[in-house]
Structure 1
Amino acid sequence: MMAKSLVVAKFEFVKTVRRKGFILGTIGLPLLMLFVIGLTLYTGAGIGTGATNQTTGYVDAAGFIQAAPGFVPYPDIAAGKAALVKGEIDSLLVVPGGYIRTGTLMVYTMDSSLLGSAGSSQSVQEFVTRNLLRHENVSDETAQKILSPVSPTVIVLDEAGNPKGDQKLAGFVLPFALTMVLALGILTSSGYLMQGIGEEKESRRGEFLLSHCSAEELLAGKILGYAGVGLLQITVWVAIGLIVIAASPFAALFSEIQVTGLVCLAVVYFVLGYFLFSVSIACTASLAPTVREAQQVSAVFSMFAVFPIIFLQFLLQDPNSLLMQVLTYFPYTAPFVAMVRLTLVTVPPYEIIVSIAILVISIAILTKLAARIFRMGMLTYGKRVTFREVFRFLKEK
């Protein structure tokens, strides 16, 4: 049985990784995201170098502004506007005479983009704040602390009120990132799985394959094959991410990553979650008469993968709420919600044990029924199978 499953797995793996869509999604998608992020950081005013390279003119009617690099004084608004139109400055700041009382400022700019306006506002706010602090005789050292306060040291306490010790940022980020990677892996691999099953059913190759191997062997081979596809894709994404992190200022945060119990739980949820979704999607895709309908039906399972994003606000506000506990026990949301909760609060061990047990039981039950449903779906051509027919088929068998 295992030999035939491995043959099917190898065929599905090689067929998928050779597709242009897989290569583009695996390598092109992360590179495109990095390009967009880098372009935003570089050109986004106030974020990268865009704001520091701008020249701002100012008209000081309040009488407390002092010149600074990148800021040019003008005697009146007319002169400042003329310089702005000629392109000598990028924006014009007007400080009214009653600014100390009203706090009202005005900025003229030729840049109508959102980033340009935001960048001008941010640089102007910092410039005016420094001058206000100087006007109130605040020292430059104190002004710098006000404008750029030092991040506080966060000490996490256990239930007894004792410090848990040094909490590395990577210890919290890594499981959360693994949860997001699991979600992306499920969404992409399920798409390939649905497409492969749908193509075989429409071309009736599924009937030919079932004449040479059992439904259990065919289903196991497909799940293993697409598991390899998903693992390869995730490995490439993680490798690209690690390269980017190593070349960034955040490398020090991940320099002392240790394999903790939290990371081990993330791996357990990753494996169980993948097999649960793979078996579910394989069954639903085999019952659909076309690839399009298979995508529509399987989208229900894919929605569970983005639950942490949908409920992110509730997770952050109250991770131990009744809703979050229920979602931790529900098998299709447990891999995602449980891992996010574990990164935020101390989840009682019994909740984790019950959650994993429900996942294992669900996979065992679904796997037992999956081969029958898969065989029925692959042999049903050009017909939409109803739930009543599925139940009747399972009962007869």
Structure 2
Amino acid sequence: MAQHNLRTVVSFEFIRTVTKKRFWAATLAVPLMLAVVFGLLYLSRSATDTAADAQKSAEFTISYTDASGLITPEQAKVFRATRAPSPEEGIRPVQAGTIDAFFDFPADPATEKVKVYGADRGLFENNKYSAVAQAMLTQAVSARIGSPGLSALARSDATIDTKTYRGGVETAGFMSAVPPLSYVVIFYGLVILLSGQMLNSTLEEKENRVTEMILTTLKPTTLISGKVLALFAVGLVQIVVFASPLLIAYLFFRDQINIPDVDLSALVFEPLPMIAGFLILVGGFALFTTTLVAIGAVMPTAKEAGNFMAVVIIMIFVPFYAVTLIFSNPQALIVQVFTYFPFTAPVTALLRNGLGSLTVGEGAVVIAIVYIGAVLMFYLAVRLFQYGSISYTSKVNIRTALSSGRRVKAAGGQAG
């Protein structure tokens, strides 16, 4: 008898769940989304290979000085490099932007640093300067490998010190990328930790059957605005709480618990990437908050809303399917799609902003997209909550809710 009852319960629950349209909508959303991602990756592959081949054969203007005497004019000609009169006169055109790179080879490259100066082309593309400088030196060593003094140099790469310039000012390289990239960590932390509260912020009243009472004293716009602002405040509190132990341990107990001595003074906070990253972070968080609030307003129970919340949360991880392209080829098709699609834009744009591949124009477009998206989702959440405030047992029909709102406004205008 007990087994029969168990079989009945399992059968009933299974059939009831799989026969619902919203179950399949939420279930199929993930594989369909991944199919689109893999399709974009496939389409981007040929373009990426072409770009990689172009990068290998790309030429940039080079000048050099050579105190070691290793590099002959014939070898320099292979790299289309011209000799500069002095290091100072080699660096100046790079700072002015009239030449791409200057290499200063020391008297003894085996023990002294090769100094490389280049025009800033982004965190990863800048690596081409040191690669070409090493190639020039390696070729020179290979041509004169018979010299005993070159044996140490032939066995290992030379030490290369690279400096890049943008607008005549030296850039900080990786140390300038760390601060804006921290916005990515903050964004993930806020969305993951608060997603449940975002979803339940409108579901709690519906499940407790108190929405009618609330709406007799509050306008839906005021209620939803208050919930969204409260979630922002909760997020700030959590950031402070989570960061406090790390900060206290680093400042007061670093020696006792063997925390590495990190030189925070080496970090460079460039105003434009920091401001752009902050605006993208706030806009992205607002977009996901209002989206989850809207889902909570549509669904009758937290159980049914959970499936759709999972789809939304997966969106913030989708960009990592193309993370190598985000790093190496930001102009690839899939990276461009992720940059401008509202629900993948925050993570993709924050990564590109930190890596220096997000232009001012692209950043402005992304900021506009996430803020406009947040406003539209806020409006949708208000309408859905207002219409579905007493829909305790069934999902709110979005089209009906929006058309109902338009009819109410039209009636109000005629009455006026």
TM-score (norm 2): 0.54
Change (3 A) 1:225 1:157: same
Change (3 A) 1:151 1:384: farther
Aligned residue for 2:212? 207
SS of structure 1 residue aligned to 2:330: coil
Q: Unaligned 5+ residue runs, structure 2?
A: 1-151, 409-416
Aligned residue for 1:155? 163
Contact 1:307 1:336 in 2 (8 A): no
State which of 284, 287, 309 in structure 1 corresponds to 2:295.
284
Deviation at 1:151, TM superposition (A): 7.3
Change (3 A) 1:322 1:384: same
C-alpha distance in structure 2 between counterparts of 1:319 and 1:239, whole Å: 35
Deviation at 1:209, TM superposition (A): 1.4
C-alpha distance in structure 1 between counterparts of 2:392 and 2:402, whole Å: 18
Q: Unaligned 5+ residue runs, structure 1?
A: 1-141
Aligned residue for 1:379? 390
Give the letter for the 2:192 counterpart. Answer: L
State which of 309, 327, 331 in structure 2 corresponds to 1:316.
327
Identity of aligned residues (%): 26
**Pairwise CA RMSD:** 3.1
Contact 1:319 1:344 in 2 (8 A): no
State which of 236, 240, 243 in structure 1 corresponds to 2:241.
236
1:216 corresponds to 2:227:
no
1:252 corresponds to 2:259:
no
Change (3 A) 1:373 1:165: same
Contact 1:202 1:381 in 2 (8 A): yes
Give the letter for the 2:212 counterpart. Answer: E
Give CA deviations for 1:173-219 in whole Å, capped at 9, x if unaligned. 22112112112201221211223432221111222211221111110
SS of structure 2 residue aligned to 1:155: strand
C-alpha distance in structure 2 between counterparts of 1:244 and 1:303, whole Å: 33
C-alpha distance in structure 2 between counterparts of 1:151 and 1:371, whole Å: 61
SS of structure 2 residue aligned to 1:379: coil
State which of 306, 314, 333 in structure 1 corresponds to 2:344.
333
Change (3 A) 1:240 1:328: farther
Deviation at 1:361, TM superposition (A): 2.4
State which of 174, 195, 198 in structure 2 corresponds to 1:190.
195
TM-score (norm 1): 0.56
Contact 1:168 1:253 in 2 (8 A): no
Deviation at 1:220, TM superposition (A): 0.9
Q: How many residue pairs align between the two structures?
A: 253
Give the letter for the 1:337 counterpart. Answer: T
SS of structure 1 residue aligned to 2:320: helix
Aligned residue for 2:132? none
C-alpha distance in structure 2 between counterparts of 1:175 and 1:335, whole Å: 13
Change (3 A) 1:386 1:292: same
Change (3 A) 1:211 1:363: same
Contact 1:338 1:352 in 2 (8 A): yes
Deviation at 1:255, TM superposition (A): 4.7
